[in-house]
Amino acid sequence: MATENVGAGILNIITESLYDKPIVVFREYAQNSADSFNKLTQSYKGSEEETLIHDLESHFWFDEEGDLFFLDNGKGIEPSEFRMQMETIARSSKKKTSNIGYKGIGRLSGISYCEKLQFINICSLENSDYQSYSFDCLYYNKLKNSSEYNHLSFDELISKIGSFEDKSSFHDHLVINKILERYNHLFSKRDTGFLVIMKKINLVLERAIQDSNFLNDISWLLPVTFKQELLEAEKVGELFKELSTENEMNVTPAKCYNFFFNESKVERPISLETLRSYTCKVDLTYAIGIIDFNSNQISIKKGNLFSGIRIYIDNMLLCDENEFLPILSNLGLIDHSANELIQSTRGIGAIIYITDKTSISTNARRTFIEVADASSIEFLTLLAEFVKKIYNARYALSKYSSFKKKIINDNEESKEKLNNLKTLAAQTLSELAKEKIVLNEQFQTDIPFQELSLTEKKATIKKFITKQINSDIQEYLKSVTDPKDYTNSYDDYITWVSSKYHQ
């Protein structure tokens, strides 16, 4: 793309309109690492590929100086292409069908969050051959607020805020060598890689990193591994292995690499403990995945991280129910309100991986599907139908359990209604899981009584006692054939109850 006639304002649009959340810098630079790894592994198969993947690592860390680093031991960028890729926008050697990021603008996401953004192309660590391209973000912000900015082209802006150093002119060898010193083991089998340095990150990004939910957020965001216990577990293990294995389309839905933050390995935060009664496969033609739910109600134990629907492309989080349900509503693909459906979907845990990247692509923000053709609409329609099944199952189960708790008389009419509600609930669950599900006769709570709080225990006891007392009252009233008055009715009832339980 020629950029000499593109205004400088395009950089502001890219960095502030497309990338409006601090965590996007982790997404963008993780994508670049994963794409670099993919270049190295795409010609390998089987055990050779597994061995290579095992050796590939991407490390993020935040130091005491307020600097944020992103390092990988991937292929890096061809030295002859490095400067061109750094100085232009929408120029990328990545392909839509084989790479996560392919629009050529993701590297600029960090400009809004630091004082200086530096890219180091590690051409040869052994020889200390480095290329560097730096952006002076402080000067950029100063220019952006000046009258000069509106008259600059993108190329002119980059020439003012950017600086390139080739291998022959690079002068910070000692600084970079010191940074890489503790990661020398990453380069024992290959000599190339890439380093991104965000000098003096701003308060917004620093607070995001220090937030208590940060590790959880990037655990869902990045293309990271499942816990080993999931892959080794009975029944569900095969499902998780299938997601991690190349399919007939030569696509590995959940292809993952080794990511570390401050030396801690990042893994998808799903464990055996977080799984519910059923974990089943989901097939949406353009995507596959799993859905995890209980057979007695579409609800979740408080604190379970595996909640809601997450959609991935190349194992990088694209969006969740908060983003895609309002859009499905705007497109007229769902009947109920987005808020109602959000509450329903949070009662299950589901991960959906887009496998057909030829037909389905993402929007510029990489937060949702690019609604541009029939295939995208068809996929979104299938997704909407999936959400409706969750909604229907939730309310069918709710009606069944609610009536079961309220029922007092075991007469034929009540039994028939309860059985009809039970049949409907089982049908909606079977449609959701695509397998026959039989509901237990005894409705049980998700949480064992011993794990409830004191208040919850008292409420549970109250419900149980109330149901039994109502049943006793009904039985007592049947035994009263000719009441003369009611003034002694309570005492008469107590006498009757005492005789019933103390015969």
Residues 284 and 180 in one domain: no
**Is pLDDT at 16 greater than 80 in this prediction?**
no
What kind and span of H or E run contains 343?
Answer: helix 338-345
Range of 471's domain?
Answer: 449-501
Helix then strand then coil, in percent of the chain rounded to 5, is 45, 15, 35
* CA dist., res. 440 & res. 453, Å (int): 26
Q: pLDDT tens across 183-213, in order?
A: 999 999 989 999 999 999 999 999 999 999 9
What kind and span of H or E run contains 498?
Answer: helix 489-501
| Token duo for residue 38 | 């993919």
Residue 466's φ and ψ, nearest 5 degrees, are -60, -45
| Token duo for residue 117 | 């953004």
* CA dist., res. 386 & res. 347, Å (int): 14
Q: Is residue 222 part of a domain?
A: no
Residues 152 and 65 in one domain: yes
Q: Write down the pLDDT at residue 102.
A: 39
pTM of the model: 0.81
* CA dist., res. 463 & res. 446, Å (int): 16
Residues 22 and 156 in one domain: yes
Residues 328 and 477 in one domain: no
Q: Is residue 364 part of a domain?
A: yes
Residue 177's φ and ψ, nearest 5 degrees, are -60, -40
**Is pLDDT at 93 greater than 60 in this prediction?**
no
- Amino acid code (one letter) for 475: E
**Is pLDDT at 383 greater than 90 in this prediction?**
yes
Residues 372 and 475 in one domain: no
Closest by alpha carbon to 311, among 241, 368, 252? 368
DSSP sequence for 281-335: EEE-SSEEEEEEE-SS-S---TT-S--EEEEEETTEEEEEHHHHHHHHHHTT--S
- Show the beta-strand stretches assigned E in 173-277: 193-201, 258-261, 264-265
**Is pLDDT at 487 greater than 90 in this prediction?**
no
Q: Is residue 252 part of a domain?
A: no
**Is pLDDT at 491 greater than 60 in this prediction?**
yes
C-alpha dist (Å) from residue 60 to 67, 307, 403, 417, 453: 11, 27, 53, 58, 40
Cα 346–Cα 213–Cα 215 angle in degrees, nearest 5: 110
Q: Is residue 480 part of a domain?
A: yes
Terminal Cα distance for the chain, rounded: 93
What kind and span of H or E run contains 60?
Answer: strand 57-62
Q: What does DSSP say about strands 316-320 and 193-201: parallel, antiparallel, or unpaired?
A: unpaired
Residues 162 and 15 in one domain: yes
Tokens 């309109």 appear where?
A: 17
What kind and span of H or E run contains 117?
Answer: strand 114-124
Residues 58 and 132 in one domain: yes
Q: Write down the pLDDT at residue 130.
A: 97
Q: Is residue 218 part of a domain?
A: no
> Based on the structure, what is the number of domains in the chain?
3
Q: Which of 378, 398, 418 is the last residue of a domain?
A: 398
Residues 139 and 276 in one domain: no
Domain containing residue 185: CATH number: 3.30.565
- Amino acid code (one letter) for 180: L
Residues 200 and 324 in one domain: no
Q: Is residue 234 part of a domain?
A: no
Q: Is residue 13 part of a domain?
A: yes
Share of the chain above pLDDT 70, in %: 90
Residues 188 and 308 in one domain: no
* CA dist., res. 360 & res. 382, Å (int): 13
Query: Beta-carbon neighbour count of residue 368 at 10 Å?
Result: 15
What kind and span of H or E run contains 70?
Answer: strand 68-72
348: CB partners within 8 A, 6+ apart: 276, 291, 292, 293, 298, 300, 307, 308, 309, 390
Residues 92 and 173 in one domain: yes
Q: pLDDT tens across 400-437, in order?
A: 888 877 766 667 888 888 889 989 988 998 888 877 77
Closest by alpha carbon to 20, among 301, 417, 323? 323
Torsion of CA 235, 238, 244, 248, to 10 degrees: -140
Res. 251 pLDDT band, cuts 50 70 90: confident
Is 259 in contact with 27 (CB distance < 8 Å)? no
| Token duo for residue 170 | 């690079």
Span 253-259, average pLDDT: 94
Q: Which of 190, 211, 232 is the last residue of a domain?
A: 211
Is 85 in contact with 100 (CB distance < 8 Å)? no
Residues 284 and 147 in one domain: no
Is 149 in contact with 8 (CB distance < 8 Å)? yes
Is 346 in contact with 300 (CB distance < 8 Å)? yes
| Token duo for residue 497 | 């109850």
| Token duo for residue 173 | 């060898």
Q: Is residue 46 part of a domain?
A: yes
| Token duo for residue 329 | 């509503």
Q: pLDDT tens across 330-379, in order?
A: 999 999 888 889 989 999 999 999 999 889 988 877 888 988 889 999 99
Residue 264's φ and ψ, nearest 5 degrees, are -95, 130
- Amino acid code (one letter) for 467: K
DSSP sequence for 83-107: HHHHH-SS--S--TTT-S--SS-GG
